[in-house]
Amino acid sequence: MTVSAAASLTNAFKDLAPAFEAAHPGTRLQFNFAASDALLAQIAKGAPVDVFASADQETMDKAQQQKLLLEGTRRNFVSNALVVITPVDGGVTLASLSDLRQPAVRRIAIGRPEGVPVGRYAKAALEKARLWPAIEPKAVFAQNVRQALDYVARGETEAGFVYATDALVLKEKVRILFTVPTDLPIAYPIAVTTGGANAAGGRQFIDFVASPAGQAVLARHGFLKP
């Protein structure tokens, strides 16, 4: 069974897999992790995917509009927070979005807003603070949230926008400077796709991630209740 999931879910879903497979003998999970928009494009082109988990509502809304979701299977299963991070070694000290204008901050890792949910959340927050024109020239655009995380972890940028859960993945290399308020809650939807061959298995997987056992694993990786 193939599950296409937002890059930020990589570690948590891999951690979930053994328990799900043990509870469903004969089922083997195959994961495809990338930016939500890229996954949607693959599904729309006919990629054999059974379950789609996105990092934002906008992408899942598009999937629904294109009739790529099995009716009645969509639900929110976790939420997250947007944070600004800096390298542990040689990083900067910032307290707010306006501090990103400081000369010490030359490069900022941001997911590409046209194709990466975390980039859209970051751009919206910066636009609301009327900071986007000042910050955009410093932006180093990433193809997904994990690439943005890597840029900061390697010290290639002084700061970056990622989810709180991503910062935990490399907590020995990056530290959280502050949490960024977002107008829209960062709620992750999941649904069975119409183009997959294992709708029954897809429903079982969604039930599992929403179950106490699944939620416990997700919470261990820093995800919040939906």
Q: Calculate ∠ Cα 171-217-186, nearest 5°.
A: 70
Predicted confidence at residue 94, as pLDDT, reads 97
State how beta strands 51-53 and 2-6 pair: parallel
Q: What is the pLDDT of residues 161-174, one digit of tens each?
A: 999 999 999 999 99
**Chain length of the chain:** 226
Query: From 2.70.98.40, 3.40.190.10, 3.10.20.30, 3.40.50.1360, which CATH number describes the 80-180 domain?
Result: 3.40.190.10
Same fold for the pair 2-79+186-220 and 80-180: yes
Predicted confidence at residue 180, as pLDDT, reads 98
Domain extent listing, the chain: 2-79+186-220, 80-180
CA distance 80 to 64: 22
Q: What is the pLDDT of residues 117-126, one digit of tens each?
A: 999 999 999 9
Q: Give CA 205 to chain center in angstroms.
A: 19
Which phi and psi (to 5°) does residue 90 adopt? 70, 25
Mean pLDDT along residues 6-30: 96
Global pTM? Answer: 0.94
Which class in CATH covers the domain with range 2-79+186-220?
alpha beta
CA distance 149 to 196: 31
